[in-house]
Amino acid sequence: MSTSRRFVARGVPGGYRIWNRRGGRWWGDLFETYPDALLSELNGARDPARLVELQRRYRALKR
């Protein structure tokens, strides 16, 4: 069984950005560390409260 991930992280100058493969555009901010938990949530349950929490956590790591 092959599963295609909708959201993937791509390396860009300065860190990582999340690419929406279905929409063909960037999602969210630039992250300096690899956002693995955020990607898992985006490709999994997509709980809005958890997504906000994870975005804040990765954004704080940037500072």
- pLDDT value at position 62? 67
Separation between Cα atoms, residue 7 and residue 19, nearest integer Å: 6
Q: How confident is the model at residue 63 (pLDDT cuts 50, 70, 90)?
A: low
Residue-wise pLDDT for 27-51, tens only, equals: 999 999 999 999 999 999 999 999 9
Packing angle of the helix pair 36-43, 48-61 (nearest 10 deg): 160
Alpha helices in 1-63 (DSSP H): 36-43, 48-61
Q: How confident is the model at residue 4 (pLDDT cuts 50, 70, 90)?
A: confident
